[in-house]
């Protein structure tokens, strides 16, 4: 995938757990990718920063133009407070409409691959000993932070993305990610292992139209991503233990 043009869509909270500046920690681990622009540079990358939310169709259109791969990590959820103090209908309106704008412009632009950062919160808090990608999703029962509305939103957005694969043929992949950390903070899965999952999935035909768990907990099966994409967590320390569905 060296030389592909990519768009990394980030929200208010994502840069917090991805740790590094306006591009997010994830972009810093993608130095093999070619990102063109003129307003900012980092690790020998030139990055175009687009000011504006994903609900602004014109901004999204400009951002997606000429792009081969879209990484959709954007989420409007009251920023670093991680609480839904804003009215839930407003949060859903912003995130669903914004995702629709990204998907529609990706479809019109002929984007080669659209990858969405979903969450393990979509499973809720059921009584299954182990969940895999075929397990029932009950996000309305999710009791972790920031609450069940988050799980419902992630699930609805994930389904919207997959709709574009089945109806329009847009290559889409959803990664259901556990609670991400970067030392010295604690969490459930190291950000470097998440990065590797995204990179292994990118432009991989085995990932098109698929959902993968990305976690390091015995209660979350990762057999599918291991067998299909060859993913194996290398950075996550087993000493960092939290409930796998806390984001």
Catalytic residues: 150
| Angle of helix 88-109 versus helix 148-168 axis, rounded to 10 | 20
DSSP state letters, 60-109? HHHHHTT-SEEEEE---SSGGG-S--S-HHHHHHHHHHHHHHHHHHHHHH
In a 3-state reduction of DSSP, which class is residue 217? coil
CA angle 145, 213, 81 (to 5 degrees): 20
Q: Which two tokens stand for residue 150?
A: 């988050």
Q: Which helix (H) or strand (E) holds 227?
A: helix 223-229
Q: Give Cβ neighbours of residue 116 (< 8 Å, ≥ 6 apart).
A: 72, 99, 157, 158, 161, 172, 173, 174, 175
**DSSP strand E in the chain: where?**
6-10, 40-42, 45-47, 69-73, 113-119, 172-177, 180-181, 189-190, 210-214
């Amino acid at each position: 995938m060296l030389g592909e043009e990519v768009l990394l869509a980030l929200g208010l909270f994502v840069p917090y757990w991805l740790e590094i500046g306006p591009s997010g920690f994830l972009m810093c681990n993608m130095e093999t990718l070619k990102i063109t622009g003129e307003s900012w540079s980092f690790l020998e990358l030139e990055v175009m920063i687009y000011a504006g939310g994903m609900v602004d169709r014109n901004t999204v259109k400009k951002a997606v133009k000429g792009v081969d791969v879209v990484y959709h990590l954007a989420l409007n959820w009251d920023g670093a407070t991680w609480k839904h103090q804003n009215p839930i209908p407003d949060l859903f309106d912003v995130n669903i409409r914004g995702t629709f704008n990204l998907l529609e412009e990706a479809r019109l632009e002929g984007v080669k691959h659209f990858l969405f950062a979903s969450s393990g919160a979509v499973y809720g808090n059921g009584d299954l000993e182990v969940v895999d990608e075929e397990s029932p999703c009950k996000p309305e029962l999710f009791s972790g932070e920031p609450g069940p509305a988050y799980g419902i939103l992630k699930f609805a957005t994930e389904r919207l993305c997959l709709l574009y694969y089945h109806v329009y043929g847009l290559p889409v992949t959803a990664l259901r990610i556990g609670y991400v950390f970067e030392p010295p903070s604690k969490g459930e899965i190291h950000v470097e292992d998440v990065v590797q999952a995204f990179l292994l999935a990118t432009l991989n035909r085995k990932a098109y139209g698929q959902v993968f768990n990305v976690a390091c907990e015995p209660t979350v099966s990762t057999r599918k991503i291991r067998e299909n994409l060859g993913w194996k967590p290398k950075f996550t320390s087993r000493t960092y233990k939290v409930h796998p569905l806390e984001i």
